[in-house]
Amino acid sequence: MDLFPIYKELHQKGGKILLVVLDGVGGLPLEPGGPTELEAAKTPNLDRLAEESTLGLLTPVYPGLTPGSGPGHLALFGYDPFRYVVGRGALSALGLGADFREGDVALRGNFATLDPEGKVVDRRAGRPSTEENQRVIAKLKEAIPRIEDVEVHFYTESEHRFLVILRGEGLSDGITDTDPQKTGLPPLEAKPLNEASAKTARIVNLLSQRIREALKDEPRINGALFRGASQKPRFPSFQEVYGLRAAAVASYPMYKGLAALVGMEVLPVEGEGDAHEGKLKALRENWERFDFFYLHFKKTDAKGEDGDFWGKVGEIERFDALLPEILALGPDVLALTGDHSTPALLKAHSWHPVPLLLKGPFLRRDEARRFTEAEALKGSLGHLRGVELMPLLLAHAGRLLKYGA
């Protein structure tokens, strides 16, 4: 059910909201009976906050469905991820501020390491530095300016991630991914999902071949995997739906793209990687300008995908050390959650619910004492779906009028 017309009718002025997303924060124990990453982490500040807050569990998209970051975030922003669908390529293009036009097709790329037989050895090519990525991208720009009558535009994203924008007549985004999502297999062939996308699939397959040829002498970055082919979408904005002046504080292009897609102002962040200090500076300097802030931290997800359990624990503890400075800003309503789980045990996103913490002036205390999966089960928020979070935030911030007579 589309509730956007209801929110438009009921929204009013109210308090300031801060939504903090620890990407992929949910986890699993490495062995039965052991702790999850959140349970293993020493988090005195989060523990103190949990005692003053209300907790629950949140299923980002739907029970049993493993969400990508796109649908996971859109749901947190209140957009039904089954109605508002966008490919990863468009998100990267929007986040990078690329020249992305009507009719273009954007693709999210991973640099990969292929063995002599053409099988994937490493889907992320050893996570090269962004500087190394830029060197390889410059090489590809020179080697592959176009394929047939289609212009090919390459952009560095970060580490192993890059963006390709295809520009030409007769392109459409209905193609399958080439990323097999596991090692030991060759890159997949892009296939058209409809007649209009046959040309795009052919161009992408030729592009994969040309990239392998251009990078054949590279020791690790010698292939590319593509996913999320997409054209430019149009979504209703936060201002239109919720009456909120919204801002995003994120470092990685995809999350900037998600924020831009729903009409948030993407604030500049100083520093490389997750740039914690740069994010806090951006928050402080812009605190009075906006009603809603989305604050994103990526490394919890990256460590989970690497299978680095203790590295993910360390990132949780690193966030915990920042929490007092975040709380000092004084948001009227604070929500802390994840867009999905990324257990180090699985080295991938999973379908498991994530903990949700909500702090505000009109909340009932509950029995939860830590921001963990097990403690969240004790919380009075119960078990919610991602799209149910935004109306809760609006209500606790006094931003929704009564519905009905």
Q: Which amino acid, one-letter code, is at 242?
A: Y
Cα 86 from chain centroid?
Answer: 12
Q: Which residues pair with 385 in a beta bridge?
A: 59
pTM listed for this prediction: 0.81
Residue 50's pLDDT is: 96
Reported as a single tens digit per residue, the pLDDT across 210-236 is: 999 999 999 999 999 999 999 988 899
Q: If you write DSSP's letter for every residue of 177-240 in order, what string do you get?
A: ----SSSSSPPPPP-BSSGGGHHHHHHHHHHHHHHHHHTTT-SS--EEEEEEEE-------HHH
Q: Which residue has the tokens 């239109």?
A: 240
Are 28 and 36 in contact, with CB atoms under 8 Å apart?
Answer: yes
Per-residue pLDDT of the chain (405 residues; tens, 9 = 90+): 789 999 999 999 999 999 999 999 999 999 999 999 999 999 999 999 999 999 999 999 999 999 999 999 999 999 999 999 888 899 889 888 899 998 999 999 999 999 999 999 999 999 999 999 999 999 999 999 999 999 999 999 989 999 999 999 999 999 999 999 999 999 999 999 999 999 999 999 999 999 999 999 999 999 999 999 999 888 999 999 999 999 999 998 889 989 999 999 999 998 877 788 999 999 999 999 999 999 999 999 999 999 999 999 999 999 999 999 999 999 999 999 999 999 999 999 999 999 999 999 988 889 999 999 999 999 999 999 999 999 999 999 999 999 998
Residue 91's pLDDT is: 84
Are 349 and 79 in contact, with CB atoms under 8 Å apart?
Answer: no
Residue 250's pLDDT is: 95
Dig out the tokens for 159 from the structure: 């580490």
Residue 232's pLDDT is: 87
- Give whole-number Cα distances, 299 to 28, 90, 206, 273, 324, in Å: 17, 22, 34, 8, 19
User: What are the two backbone dihedrals, phi and then psi, of residue 187, each rounded to the nearest 5 degrees?
Assistant: -55, 145
Q: Which amino acid, one-letter code, is at 47?
A: D
Q: Cα separation of 295 and 250, whole Å?
A: 6
Q: Cα separation of 192 and 27, whole Å?
A: 36
Q: Is 4-81+235-396 a domain of CATH 3.90.1010.10?
A: no
CB count in 10 Å sphere of residue 278: 18
> What number of H helices and E strands is found in the chain?
14, 14
User: What are the two backbone dihedrals, phi and then psi, of residue 273, each rounded to the nearest 5 degrees?
Assistant: 60, -135
* Every domain range in the chain assigned CATH 3.40.720.10: 4-81+235-396
